[in-house]
Amino acid sequence: MGKQYFGTDGIRGRVGESPVTADFMLRLGRAAGAVLAAGDRRAVVIGKDTRISGYMFESALEAGLAAAGANIALLGPMPTPAVAYLTRTMYACAGIVISASHNPFHDNGIKFFSADGEKLPDEVEHAIEAELARPFSTVDSRAMGKATRIEDAAGRYIEFCKGTVPFGTQLTGLKLVVDCAHGATYRVGPSVLRELGAKVIVIGDEPDGLNINDGFGSTAPAALQAAVREHSADAGIAFDGDGDRVVMADHTGALVDGDDILFILASARQADNRLVGGVAGTVMTNLGLELALADRQIPFMRTPVGDRHIHRALVENGWKLGGEASGHILCLDRTSTGDGIVSALQVLEVMAETGKSLSDLRAGVTKMPQIMINVPIAAEARARLDSSERIRGEVSSVETELNGRGRVILRPSGTEPLIRVTLEGEDESQVGRLAERLAAVVRDELS
C-alpha cells in the first residue's frame, strides 16, 4: 500500500507548500506522539539542521507531541546521526530530525528514528499516516507532555564519535580541510577532529539560516577541493547539510566519493580480518567498485537507491558495510545509521594506521564514466515514466548502442520532482551523448 506523505527518506518538500507547513507539522507531531509514545517510554528527541524554517517546525512539532502526551527533548542544531545516537542512549521512544538534508534552504522535511536509532519500518509510517487522518485531539491536561532542552547534547555526541576509532588513535600530523556545508556539523565536526589531534581548517561553518548547502558541502565539493590545494592539506572532508553524508578529497584535491570510501574501508577490514560478509551498494554504485571488490573476492550486492534499502540488506545478510556514491555510508559495526563524521573517522583511521595517503588507498578502484542528468518534471508526471512507450523504446535503443558494455538507470528522485537519467559505460563521450539523448526524450515526454 502506498504512502501519502512519507517518501524514501521521511517527509520532504518546499516550505509553505503542503505538506511542509506549520499546521501540518502540528498535526504530524500529535499523530507521531500517539503512535510512537504509546508505551512506557514517552520521550521524543528532536534535532534540526540550520535552516531558518527549523525554528517554526520545531515549535509546531513540540506542540503536537505535547498534545499527544509525549515529553520532548530538544537538541537544537545537531547532525541527523547524532539524533539517532541520542535517541538510543537517552532511551527515548523515537527521534525526529527537522532537515531536508542536501536540499536548498527553501526545502525542509522530517526524518524519524525508532527507539533503536534506526529508520521507521513501513508499518509504523502507515500507522502515523492513519493517525493523521483522524481529527486533532489533546490528552487531558494532567497527561500533557513537557519539553526540556538538552544542553550537553553536542558533548555527548563528540565523545561517541571519538569512540568509534580504537582508543589511542591519533590524527596528529594530519592537516585536514573540513567543509560543514553551513549545516548541522558546523560545531561538532571540527571539534571531533581537533580533539583527536588533527590540524583543522574549516570552511562552510557560518550558517545564517539561508546558506545551507549553498556552494559548500558534499553536493558542491569544488570549494573543498580548492581549499585542500590552497592549504596543501593531507585530505579534505565535506559533509552535507544534516551530516549523514561525507565525501573527501585527497592531497591533490581529487574527489574521493562514497564508492571510493567503501573500497578503502572494505579493503582495510579485509586485511585486518574485520570484514563481516561483503559490501552492499545500490543500482547507482559505479561498476568499477563492483569489479575492484570482485578482484579481492569481496561479495557485493545492489539494492534500490536509499539508505533504508541498504540497511535492510545488510541486516538480512548479517553484513556491516554498505553505502552510496553520494557519501551515505553505513558502518553498522560502529553505529546504527549513516554518519558522515563516523565514516570519515574510519578512513582517517586507515590513513593513520598505514601511513598511506588517500590517493594510494583508493588506487585499487578504477571508475567507469558515469553521467547523471536531472530532468525536472511536474510531480504528477512521474507516474507516466514506466508507462511511456517512447521512453521504453529509447532506453532499449541506448542499451543496444552500449552493446552490453554499460548500464542505463532511469528513476524518479525520492526527494525532489526530478527524473534521474544515469548512464555508465567504457567510453565517456558515448555515455555523455547517449545520456543527453535519453534525457531529451524524458524531458519531452514528461515536462
Kindly write down the DSSP assignment for every residue of 36-89, as one continuous string.
HTSSS--EEEEEE-S-TTHHHHHHHHHHHHHHTT-EEEEEEE--HHHHHHHHHH
For residues 30 and 67, is the Cβ–Cβ distance under 8 A?
yes
Residue 380 has what DSSP assignment? G
Rg of the chain's alpha carbons, rounded to an integer? 22
Reading the block at residue 1, the C-alpha cell is 500500500
Residue 428 has what DSSP assignment? H
- 399/367 Cα distance (integer angstroms): 20
Reading the block at residue 312, the C-alpha cell is 535492510
For residues 275 and 314, is the Cβ–Cβ distance under 8 A?
no
Would you call 413 a catalytic residue per the annotation?
Answer: no
Q: If you count them, how many residues does the chain have?
A: 447
Nearest to 227 by CA among 192, 173, 175: 175
Which is the catalytic residue, given 99, 101, 114, 191?
A: 101
- 158/180 Cα distance (integer angstroms): 15
Query: Using CA of residue 130, residue 132, residue 138, residue 144, what is the dihedral sign?
Result: positive
∠ CA 422-425-430, rounded to 5°: 90
Could you list the active site residues? 101
